[in-house]
Chains A and B, each alone.
Chain A
Amino acid sequence: MENLYNIEMLDKRIKELKKIAEEIKESGGQIEAVKRNINRILASIKMLEINICDLTEV
């Protein structure tokens, strides 16, 4: 099943997604509406990490 997917590529894109979310928090986090919504997005990204990224290097 692993061979059907490019896990490395998915991992890379999820990391990019997280970086963008963190950058938005960094630059707009003083706005409560930005900070709280980004926190939720980061929690969702964490679910992608535990479903995909954690599988790299095992």
Chain B
Amino acid sequence: MAHHNIYWNPLTETLPREKLMSLQLKKFKRIFEWAYNNSPFYRRLYKEAGIEPGDIKSFDDIRRVPKIDKGMLREVQSRPPFPYGDILAVPIEDVVVFRQTSGTTGTPVYQADTWQDWEWWAECWAYILYAQGYRDTDRVFLPFGYNIFVAFWACHYAAEKLGCEVVPGGVLDTEARILKMQELKCTAFGATPTYVLGMADTARKMGIDPKTIGIKKITCAGEPGASIPSTKKRIEDAWGARVYDHIGATEIGAWSYMCTFETRGLHVNEAFFLVEIEDIDTGEIIETPGKNGKMVITAFDRIGKPCIRFDSKDVIRWADYTCECGRTFRMIDGGVVGRADDITKVKGVLLAPTAIEEVVRDIQELSDEYEVIVTKKGDIDDIMLKVEIRPGCEGDKEAILARLKDQLRVKTNLGYRIEVHPYGSLPRYEVKAKRFKDLRKHG
């Protein structure tokens, strides 16, 4: 029997499935009608497809609604009003905050949010933090560069909403952040998995064992690491803390979260979002657990720049297990397991970069950093993996590399050229890491 005090909102989070689906349909109709009536971009799109608000009566009707993608969001920015384009569904005067995507996959997308949208962002995050055990007794440190990227901004406001004490660790370097966390006896923090590991490394170099700082929980975002068991374990071992993943995106919102009960997967906040999984080849909707597909997502309550049936290119799969927390929200297994435009064929074999990370991070003698470079030599693909061996383990180099090669072969069905680099020489990242480089596309 689940306990009442583990939910931010027990009414939505434990709503019976049938009612939850009825709620989703009702909310989809509402945001569709809102976008149709207020956003020239969406109205054009839907008129061309011959769909009007009154046509949405079932989930089958929802499947007929045209999808949007990042390319369309970029393209619409060339239209007025500057800089968002006519996807905007509110007067430009109602926009109170600008954010943009990181531009990892191309030109950044600009995001407009009204004050209501910003409240909504914080509300999405309130569900996340509460499910992960954040309470008003927590002192939460946020070591990120408070800037144009949404990153942990909404986490900040949600933590305040929960009554936590928030320590904004903006313009401090990593050492200063560690000292401040230690000084203030912070109990929780949030960052990308890469940076969380990097902070632990820095702390050790400063002579501080991260476990002694007193952090009890860490919320990760921006990369899939906290859903990769070996990376999650590394972080938990380093900090002596529980590590939770959450998934969100600038254009979408914060739509998914681990709770304290089941960390193999993440709950989808189905009261706020509709997540559909499509077969990558056929486009058929996947309801079967365990089968990978591409996510198409709708945010029900975002009004400034609505997000309706957004083809995110994230590859996810429904979990074949349930969570004992009592939430009726469905779970996705293992977080975002890849990108539809990232899963690439190397030597004819489908490769997801996260599989390489799982292997590298599972070998304790290797450092947290690695780099994968795919090139073409003549007609043959070549895949090189650069790793670092931790200080003190160099003597076992041959055995470590043999294990690495074996595990890579087992997990990815590929053979790699492996280069060992001096410890500390591979690039370190503070935000999203770029460890996978496919140079074949550039000639």
Residues of A within 8 A of B (CB): 1-2, 4-5, 7, 39-40, 42-44, 46-47, 50-52, 54-55, 57-58
Contact = CB atoms under 8 A, between A and B. Distances in A.
Closest 10 CB pairs of A and B: A43-B116, A58-B22, A1-B14, A43-B119, A58-B23, A1-B10, A58-B19, A43-B115, A47-B123, A51-B9
Contact of B116 (A1, A2, A46, A55): A46
25 contacts: A1-B14, A2-B11, A4-B10, A5-B11, A7-B11, A42-B116, A43-B114, A44-B119, A46-B120, A50-B120, A50-B123, A50-B271, A50-B272, A51-B9, A51-B11, A54-B23, A54-B27, A55-B19, A55-B23, A57-B26, A58-B15, A58-B19, A58-B22, A58-B23, A58-B26
B26 to A, nearest CB: 6
Interface string B243-272: 000000000000000000000000000011
A4 B430 CA distance: 46
B23 A40 contact: no
Contacts of A51: 9, 11-12, 123
Nearest to A44: B119
B16 to A, nearest CB: 8
A18 B438 CA distance: 54
Contact of A52 (B11, B22, B115, B272): B11
B301 interface: yes
Nearest to B123: A47
Nearest to B14: A1
Interface string B308-352: 000000000000000000000000000000000000000000000
B15 A55 contact: yes
A11 to B, nearest CB: 11
Given A50-B272, A55-B15, A58-B22, A39 B115 contact: yes
B94 to A, nearest CB: 9
Judged by DSSP, the binding face of B is: helix
A7 to B, nearest CB: 7
Contact of A46 (B10, B23, B119, B300): B119
B15 A2 contact: yes
Nearest to A55: B11
Contacts of A42: 116
Interface residues of B, number: 23
A39 B19 CA distance: 31
B122 to A, nearest CB: 8
A33 B123 CA distance: 25
Given A47-B119, A50-B301, A54-B271, 17 more contacts: A4-B10, A40-B115, A42-B116, A43-B118, A43-B119, A46-B119, A47-B123, A50-B120, A50-B123, A51-B11, A51-B12, A51-B123, A55-B12, A55-B19, A55-B23, A57-B26, A58-B15
Contacts of A47: 119-120, 123
B220 to A, nearest CB: 25
A19 B303 CA distance: 21
Given A55-B23, A58-B22, A58-B26, A1 B119 contact: no
Nearest to B19: A58
Contacts of B271: 50, 54
- Looking at A40, A42, A46, A57, which has the most chain B CB atoms within 10 Å of its CB? A46
A13 to B, nearest CB: 15
A50 B300 CA distance: 10
Contacts of A1: 4, 10-11, 14
Nearest to B13: A1
Contacts of A4: 4, 10
Nearest to B115: A43
- Looking at A40, A50, A57, which has the most chain B CB atoms within 10 Å of its CB? A50
A48 to B, nearest CB: 10
A18 to B, nearest CB: 13
Contacts of B272: 50
B394 to A, nearest CB: 55
Interface string B1-38: 00010000111101100010011001100000000000
Contacts of A39: 115
- Looking at B10, B11, B14, which has the most chain A CB atoms within 10 Å of its CB? B11
